[in-house]
């Protein structure tokens, strides 16, 4: 069942009903100010860090769910006087008022969302977005009178303030209920309500919510606004038809502006509500620090400046248009015309958009990630890069430097770091032994995309310690050496606290309820090994050797030193390949790991957890077993033992009991999350592995099983948004197979984009240039990929002929790499037959 449709021309998903199986959300903002917005107007806003600079409050456990974020109430009044009474109220976003609408439509676009609603002759259109270069969410509301008589309409816009720190805001009530402070500013042509809690003390930032019109009333006290016992659906002031002009002192500060408009038949009136975040230098915090009567009155100048940028419909139009242009530019970097709308809309629009969002958010703020906890992941962010680097390479470069700066001198890494401070997160610590290798993956992707070798000589510190800077290339060396110097009894890499699968905790035995498996003592005894990291080393160690070979001399190494080190690394790769093929091979698939007792994990010798997906994907992607049939055998086992209509499960059979020696993985109910769920992140590894192994049909089938656009018709089962990937789909052994969870913020986005863009459509940046080698199923015969790469626009025709060839600007070329145009031309025509 569908709840909407794709509007590919507008690059929008159009939702027809508020009653989607779950809130279907969108993200606003690209740089510092971000908002989540659901198809009923729910969500919240923050500046850079969803924990430390939360601007508006959200209730993840709220009942009713998803209310109170940006609440708009459109009230038809029975007159224009001070005693006018309300006739009927609805919300342009359906919630919170819940009034059944005559018309409802929510259009999630790329960086903006539009709600169209109609009730009793009043039509509304609410456009929400974060303009480029502005720390503000703009909400433009158009109100149109679509029937025969003039109407007086009161429009109330309301946001609820979070007291900045989202964790404290939800826990430290004995303090919080006494700290809230606001200011009210009624200007001739605008009204601005300020939230200045803790500005008095250590904060240099405040927020505001204004409207470009005088108000008939306002409220800043939630209790006054809602009244007792009421929810956001029926606030007391809405029922009464009159604001209370309340000024909050502590308790729950909000900002509610009530504007009255009279709309003639056919006429449209426009209001612009702006939610803004302001930082001021310490010496400019106050309006007039010398005047005792003005103690505590904030300096509003910067707020006025920001507010005035969007105080007319024309200015808002212009800002939205700039935002769309910006995205048009980004999305032109990679596009396909395949004849299949599902493929095109995912590749050209939604998938790349999701890659940007995951790059921005890491795993911090979604409808499943509360934004209260973890920061950026070392592993996550490196992988997020893979799907993002082509969009804005400069930001990827900056991120790489940030990530590498949290690496330790021995090559290990903090597992997470805080986006605001960029420092390693000591609560989580390190010891995740896959982390270092992901840095190579990220840097390799950046180099392949840009050819910008200057990044390799960029001085980057260890653990953010000033003075410890070494060239980035040295960080990669430490990464590779870390694996090479941490091998276990089978010459496989030690797993440490965990590898990519954070829930396979082979050294972290926990028997205390509720204890975090990620922070419990790591009893690493030097025995537990990861076949998965073995595969990673073959793949990313190889990338490191390639980087050395390409750029080592340019980085100041002698030719001999390069040759020596490349030989050493390649020797280690050969040894690792051998170890994986022997100790790492179970007979029909790759073993997952060895536990702290040196027993195999992911082996037919066990009754449960016999086969895991990760080593099959990673080892075959690395090329292990392509030469001796093991790759094909492993992929066959994946198809037969792990795959169902909803995708490929992470393991089977799921664990029915808790195994202390395996950790969190066995803590989940069967079929969910890491215990037998379809953990989508690793499904593209299987797709890529099949492509690498030449199984093109299966490669695409794996892609399709997980691809949102193909699952749109099953939205009542999948539940999550049909335009984005989710982290996990309940597996075949669960009671609810196909049910998706944790949409948006998942490495699935980046990895599946690598899969579809570089392996299935086969347009892959390499250190040598753009390689083209499609792996597509029979039904795809003629496609065009447009790729802007290192400043050159490649128009690439893919034609199914049954034999492989490459023609560049009409001339045949050997191999699959398109040479960089020698004549400096900025567009190249490529034809690839396959």
Contacting its own copies within 48-87 (CB under 8 A): 52, 57, 59-65, 67-68
Nearest approach in angstroms of CB 18 to its own copies is: 8
Best CA proximity match to 398, nearest among 442, 357, 438, 440? 442
Q: Which of residues 23-52 bind its own copies (CB under 8 A)?
A: 52
Place of tokens 């202390």: 660
Single residue of 3, 4, 18, 272 touching its own copies by CB under 8 A: 18
Choice between 78 and 204, CB closer to its own copies: 204
Q: 3-state SS string over 438-460?
A: HHHHHHHHHHHHHCCHHHHHCEE
Given 49, 66, 384, 502, the catalytic residue: 502
Site for its own copies in 358-397 (CB under 8 A): 363, 367-370, 372-373
Of 231 and 542, which has the nearer Cβ to its own copies?
231
Comparison of 186 and 249: residue with beta carbon closer to its own copies: 249
Q: How far is the CB of 59 from its own copies (least distance, A)?
A: 6
Residues β-bridged to residue 28: 35
Shortest separation between residue 734's beta carbon and its own copies, angstroms: 7
In the complex with its own copies, which residue's Cβ is closer, 51 or 300?
A: 51
Chain residues 276-305 in contact with its own copies, contact rule CB under 8 A: 295-296
Select from 11, 70, 98, 630 the one that contacts its own copies (CB under 8 A). Answer: 98
Q: Residues 231-260: x/- map of binding to its own copies (CB under 8 A)? A: xxx-------------x-xx-x--------
Per-residue string for binding with its own copies, 407-426, x by CB under 8 A? --------------------
* Phi/psi at 2 (5° precision): -105, 155
Residue 96 or 584 with smaller CB distance to its own copies: 96
The interface with its own copies within residues 491-550 (CB under 8 A) comprises 510-515
Residue of the chain from 25, 95, 159, 437 that contacts its own copies (CB under 8 A): 95
Say how many residues touch its own copies, by CB under 8 A: 81
Closest approach, Cβ 736 to its own copies, in A, equals 6
Rounded Cα gap, residues 744 and 722, in angstroms? 11
Tell me if 711 sits within 8 A of 6, measured CB to CB: no
Q: Which is nearer to its own copies, 22 or 349 (CB)?
A: 22
Q: Which is nearer to its own copies, 135 or 742 (CB)?
A: 742
- For 256, the enclosing helix (H) or strand (E) is strand 253-263
CB of 813 to its own copies, least distance (A): 47
Name the minimum Å distance from CB 229 to its own copies: 6
CA 759 to chain centre: 22
Angle at 215 between CA 213 and CA 220, to 5 degrees: 120
Residue 83 contacts by C-beta under 8 Å, 6 or more apart in sequence?
Answer: none
Contacts to its own copies from residues 158-177, by CB under 8 A: 164-165, 167-175, 177
Residue 511 or 811: the one with the smaller Cβ distance to its own copies is 511
**Taking a C-beta distance cutoff of 8 angstroms, is the pair 409, 478 a contact?**
yes
Q: How far apart are CA 795 and CA 728, in angstroms?
A: 35
Q: Which two tokens stand for residue 130?
A: 């974060």
**Minimum distance from residue 41 beta carbon to its own copies (Å):** 12
Reply yes or no on whether 502 is catalytic. yes
Of 11, 726, 639, 13, give the one whose Cα is nearest residue 369.
Answer: 726
To its own copies, the closest distance from the beta carbon of 202 in angstroms equals 5
Site for its own copies in 311-340 (CB under 8 A): none
| 597, two tokens | 């007792």
Cβ closer to its own copies: 195 or 269? 195
Min. distance of Cβ 336 from its own copies in angstroms?
Answer: 32
Instruction: Please give the C-alpha separations between residue 727 and each of 91, 147, 542, 739, in angstroms, as whole numbers.
Output: 32, 47, 28, 11
* Triad 318, 323, 324: Cα angle to 5°: 95
Radius of gyration of the chain (CA): 28
Interface with its own copies in residues 173-212 (CB under 8 A)? 173-175, 177-179, 181, 198, 200-205
| Residue 49 to residue 361: CA distance in whole angstroms | 9
Residue reference for tokens 């740089």: 31
What secondary structure letter does DSSP report for 739?
A: -
Q: Which residues, numbered 732-791, are part of the site for its own copies (CB under 8 A)?
A: 734-736, 741-742
**585 vs 668, beta carbon nearer its own copies:** 668
- Taking CA atoms, 298 is separated from 135, 636, 828, in Å, by 18, 67, 57
Segment 610 to 669, residues that bind its own copies, using CB under 8 A: 656-658, 666-669
Q: Which residue has the tokens 């809309």?
A: 345
Name every residue whose Cβ is closer than 8 Å to that of residue 507 and which is 6 or more positions away in sequence.
495, 496, 497, 522, 523, 524, 525, 528, 596
Q: Is 229 in the site for its own copies (CB under 8 A)?
A: yes
d(CA 828, CA 810): 10
Of 717, 725, 773, nearest to 745 by C-alpha is 725
Q: Which strand ranges, in their side-by-side order, compose the sheet holding 763-766?
A: 763-766, 769-772, 817-818
- The two tokens of residue 754 are 């690598």
How far CA 557 is from CA of 551, 554, 561, 566, 568, in Å, comes to 9, 7, 6, 12, 15
- In the complex, the smallest distance separating the C-beta of residue 235 from its own copies, rounded to whole angstroms, is 10
**Identity of the residue, 164 or 703, whose beta carbon is nearer to its own copies in the bound complex:** 164
Q: How far is the CB of 404 from its own copies (least distance, A)?
A: 26
Nearest to 388 by CA among 418, 362, 414, 420: 362
Catalytic residues: 502
């Amino acid at each position: 069942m569908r709840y909407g449709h794709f509007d590919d021309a507008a690059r929008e998903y159009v939702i027809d009903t508020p009653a989607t199986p779950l809130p279907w959300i969108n993200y606003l903002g690209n740089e510092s100010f971000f908002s989540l917005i659901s198809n009923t107007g729910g969500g919240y806003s923050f500046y850079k860090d969803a924990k430390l600079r939360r601007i508006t409050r959200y209730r993840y456990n709220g009942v009713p769910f998803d209310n109170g974020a940006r609440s708009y109430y459109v009230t038809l009044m029975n007159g224009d006087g001070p005693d006018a009474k309300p006739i009927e109220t609805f919300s342009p976003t359906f919630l919170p008022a819940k009034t059944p609408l005559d018309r409802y439509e929510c259009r999630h676009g790329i960086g903006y969302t539009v709600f169209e609603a109609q009730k009793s002759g009043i039509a509304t259109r609410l456009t929400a977005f974060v303009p480029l270069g502005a720390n503000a969410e703009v909400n433009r509301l158009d109100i149109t009178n679509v029937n025969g008589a003039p109407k007086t309409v009161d429009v109330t816009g309301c946001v609820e303030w979070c007291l900045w720190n989202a964790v404290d805001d939800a826990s430290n009530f004995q303090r919080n209920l006494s700290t809230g402070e606001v200011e009210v500013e009624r200007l001739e042509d605008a009204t601005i309500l300020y939230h200045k809690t803790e500005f008095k003390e250590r904060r240099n930032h405040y927020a505001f919510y204004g409207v470009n019109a005088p108000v008939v009333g306002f409220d800043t006290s939630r209790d006054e606004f809602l009244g007792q016992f009421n929810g956001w659906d029926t606030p007391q002031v809405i029922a009464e038809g009159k604001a209370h002009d309340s000024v909050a002192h502590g308790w729950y500060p909000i900002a509610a502006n009530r504007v009255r408009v009279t709309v003639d038949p056919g006429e449209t009136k426009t209001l612009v509500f702006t939610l803004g975040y302001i930082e001021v230098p310490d010496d400019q915090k106050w309006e007039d620090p010398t005047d005792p009567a003005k103690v505590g009155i904030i300096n509003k100048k910067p707020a006025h400046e920001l507010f005035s940028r969007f105080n007319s419909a024309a200015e808002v139009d212009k800002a939205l248009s700039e935002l769309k242009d910006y995205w048009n530019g980004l999305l032109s970097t990679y596009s396909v015309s395949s004849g299949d709308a599902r493929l095109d809309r995912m590749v050209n629009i939604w998938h790349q958009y999701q890659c940007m969002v995951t790059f921005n958010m890491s795993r911090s703020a979604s409808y499943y990630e509360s934004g209260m906890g973890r920061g950026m992941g070392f592993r996550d962010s490196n992988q997020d890069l893979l799907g993002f680097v082509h969009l804005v390479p400069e930001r990827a470069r900056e991120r790489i430097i940030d990530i590498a700066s949290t690496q330790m001198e021995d090559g290990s890494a903090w597992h997470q770091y805080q986006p605001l401070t960029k420092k390693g997160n000591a609560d989580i610590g390190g010891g995740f032994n896959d982390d270092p290798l992901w840095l190579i993956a990220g840097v390799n992707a950046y180099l392949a995309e840009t050819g910008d070798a200057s990044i390799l000589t960029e001085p980057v510190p260890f653990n953010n310690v000033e003075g410890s800077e070494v060239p980035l290339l040295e960080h990669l060396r430490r990464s590779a050496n870390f694996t090479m110097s941490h091998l276990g009894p089978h010459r496989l890499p030690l797993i440490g606290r965990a590898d990519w699968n954070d829930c396979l905790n082979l050294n972290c035995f926990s028997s205390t309820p509720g204890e975090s498996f990620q922070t419990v003592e790591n009893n690493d005894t030097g025995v537990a090994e990861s076949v998965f990291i073995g595969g990673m080393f073959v793949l990313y160690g190889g990338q490191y050797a390639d980087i050395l070979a390409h750029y080592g001399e340019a980085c100041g190494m002698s030719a001999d030193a390069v040759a020596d080190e490349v030989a050493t690394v390649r020797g280690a790769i050969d040894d690792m390949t051998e170890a994986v093929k022997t100790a790492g091979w179970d007979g029909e698939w790759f073993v997952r790991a060895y536990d702290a007792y040196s027993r195999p994990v992911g082996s037919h010798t066990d009754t449960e957890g016999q086969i895991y997906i990760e080593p099959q994907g990673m080892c075959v992607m690395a090329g292990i077993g392509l030469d001796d049939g093991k790759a094909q055998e492993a992929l066959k086992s994946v198809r037969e033992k792990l795959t169902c209509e909803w995708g490929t499960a992470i393991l089977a059979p799921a664990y029915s009991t808790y195994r202390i020696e395996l950790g969190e993985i066995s803590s989940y109910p069967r079929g969910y999350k890491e215990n037998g769920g379809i953990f989508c992140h690793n499904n593209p590894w299987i797709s890529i592995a099949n492509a690498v192994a030449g199984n093109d049909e299966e490669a695409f089938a794996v892609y399709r099983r997980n691809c949102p656009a193909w699952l749109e018709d099953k939205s009542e089962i999948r539940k999550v948004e049909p335009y984005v990937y989710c982290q996990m789909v309940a597996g075949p052994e669960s009671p609810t197979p196909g049910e998706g969870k944790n949409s948006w913020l998942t490495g699935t986005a980046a990895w599946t984009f690598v899969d579809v863009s570089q392996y299935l459509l086969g347009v892959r940046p390499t250190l040598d240039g753009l390689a083209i080698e499609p792996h597509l199923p029979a039904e795809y015969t003629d496609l065009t990929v447009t790729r802007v790469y290192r400043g050159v626009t490649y128009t690439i025709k893919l034609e199914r002929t049954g034999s492989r060839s490459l023609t560049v600007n009409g001339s045949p070329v050997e191999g699959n790499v398109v040479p960089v145009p020698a004549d400096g031309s900025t567009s190249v025509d490529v034809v690839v037959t396959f």
